[in-house]
Structure 1
């Protein structure tokens, strides 16, 4: 069986702010920007991985969702309780400095983890946690 990752989804509450972060701070390219029934989906990805995309989607991508469901999703997003992604990088420390200089909200400075990686963590403008990891050397 040959299975590869194609897309993953991250909930965002402000696509313009998210786009500025993912495109400008992280250097991802915009691949698609679609509106439908008052909602918006923006697809971004690394130029180094043309077959993998991150879709920045509304917190509750259902135009018929109940107001209570929308409120609950917005609260979960604001608390940072929805899942983010882990990015691989060749230089965790340099990536950390670049994202911090671009205004990323630091959650964890670069550190060696007992499970064999060096990583750091940020929150995106919507509150999602993003980790940047590299294999520990030596």
Structure 2
């Protein structure tokens, strides 16, 4: 069987991203290792408590010589504008978790709204990545 284990998320500042995902969203720090032999490359992952088989890789936007300066700026611009895709978080109670995250300092771009698939709210991480907090119809009341 094939399963999703890790998903890469481009971040502008790995420390700021780690603090956001652990301190505000409530994820656990899973790995934080720096490799001098790879030019100081930092492997940084976080994941939701109770879901040990899944991690977000908080990957620094690559710079030369890995990519060209133009590619670095393109990735940075796309990420900043929230155009690099979205992270979908599942919950059994969007309103409860919206209030909890807001109290921790998460700034929402969209309040909880009924959608055809359930109840949904949106926020962005400090790098601009879009995050959706979703309660699907199967999870309970969506009114």
Structure 1 length-normalised TM:
0.89
Per the alignment, in what secondary structure is the counterpart of residue 18 of structure 2? helix
- 1:60 is displaced (CA, Å) by 2.6
> Which residues in structure 2 correspond to 1:54-73 (within 5 Å)?
54-60=56-62, 63-73=65-75
Q: Deviations over 1:65-90 (max 9, x none)?
A: 21111111111111111123101111
Structure-1 residue corresponding to 2:132 = 131
Structure-2 residue corresponding to 1:5 = 4
**Moved beyond 4 Å, runs of 4+:** none
- 1:94 is displaced (CA, Å) by 1.1
Structure-1 residue corresponding to 2:55 = 53
- 1:63 is displaced (CA, Å) by 4.5
Unaligned runs of 5+ residues in structure 2 are none
Structure-2 residue corresponding to 1:101 = 103
- 1:34 is displaced (CA, Å) by 2.3
Q: How many residues align?
A: 136
Unaligned runs of 5+ residues in structure 1 are none
Structure-2 residue corresponding to 1:85 = 87
Structure 2 length-normalised TM:
0.86
Aligned Cα RMSD in Å? 1.7
- Between 1:85-94 and 1:64-73, the stretch displaced more is 64-73
Per the alignment, in what secondary structure is the counterpart of residue 49 of structure 1? coil
Q: Does the CA contact (< 8 Å) of 1:12 and 1:126 recur in 2? A: yes
Q: Does the CA contact (< 8 Å) of 2:87 and 2:131 recur in 1? A: yes
Cα distance in 2 for residues equivalent to 1:111 and 1:128: 20
- 1:61 is displaced (CA, Å) by 6.8
Matched, 1:14 2:16: no
Q: Deviations over 1:93-118 (max 9, x none)?
A: 1111122222222111011101x211
Per the alignment, in what secondary structure is the counterpart of residue 33 of structure 1? strand
